[in-house]
A and B are shown apart, each in its own frame.
Chain A
Amino acid sequence: EVQLVESGGGLVQPGGSLRLSCAASGFTFSKSEMNWVRQAPGKGPEWISYISSSGSTIYYADSVKGRFTISRDNAENSLYLQMNSLRAEDTAVYYCARGVSGGWEIDYWGQGTLVSVSS
């Protein structure tokens, strides 16, 4: 069974940093593309970042480019999102999600971790 478990969310002040983690199991993580998708309260999902299976290809949404960094550790079956210079508009539930079909689709999502940016 595919499982994705996010952690690391919490309350942070504007301008602060957080590092999110996603522990993967039930599939061959090292062969899977991965994504981070966020969902602000009462809003629809917003894709924010992609990383290829090897980590050699990375993409970001314009809304987080230059502030967030995606990475992975295939030996640990883990995905990460380093978030710097956080803003109030970054407040959301952050999901890791598995990419499939060569990266052109998403199938499984984790349960999410809440990030709140407020003073």
Chain B
Amino acid sequence: DVVMTQSPLSLPVTLGQPASISCRSSQSLVYSDGNTYLNWFQQRPGQSPRRLIYKVSNRDSGVPDRFSGSGSGTDFTLKISRVEAEDVGVYYCMQGTHWPPGFTFGPGTKVDIK
């Protein structure tokens, strides 16, 4: 089964400064159709997850452009160009390439303000 890892697991950031989260998969996430099914989700305290990024680098509608996704193969990154207070929460990467049997989530990175 595919294993997803994230680093760091905790990320204290200063308001207005950039932040970067790494996500790695144990197998390549390139599917036979050429797409890479790697998503990023934000979960604010007390809320359900909200998708930010799909297929590695595509921002969902309504997601601020300070969020960006990049990467390929087994190595992916979510960047926040300038952290705002509303960005506090846990960020998860999720792969959908190797399914069935099912989607696999990373352990999450908790972002909070210094």
Q: How many A-B residue pairs have CB under 8 A?
A: 64
Known: A44-B106, A44-B108. A106 touches B94 (CB 8 A): yes
- Asked whether any CB of chain A lies closer than 8 Å to the CB of B105, the reply is yes
The B26-71 residues at the A interface (CB cut-off 8 A) are 31, 35, 37, 39, 41, 48-51, 54-55, 60
Could you tell me if A62 and B101 are in contact, using CB atoms closer than 8 angstroms?
A: yes
Q: Is the interface of A mostly helix, strand, loop or mixed?
A: strand
* Segment at the interface with B among A16-24, A69-77, A83-91, A108-116: A108-116
B-side residues, CB < 8 A to A, are 31, 35, 37, 39, 41, 48-51, 54-55, 60, 90, 92, 94, 96-97, 99-108
Q: Could you say which interface size class chain A belongs to? A: 20 to 34
Contact across chains for A111 and B54 when beta carbons are under 8 A apart: no
Q: Please name 28 pairs of A and B residues whose Cβ atoms are closer than 8 Å in the assembled complex, sorted by A.
A: A44-B90, A44-B108, A45-B49, A45-B105, A50-B100, A59-B99, A59-B100, A59-B101, A61-B101, A61-B102, A62-B101, A95-B48, A100-B54, A101-B54, A101-B96, A104-B37, A104-B96, A104-B97, A105-B39, A105-B54, A105-B96, A106-B51, A106-B96, A107-B51, A107-B54, A109-B49, A109-B50, A110-B48
Q: How far is the CA of A20 from the CA of B41 in the complex (A)?
A: 24
**Distance A73 CA – B39 CA, assembled complex (angstroms):** 28
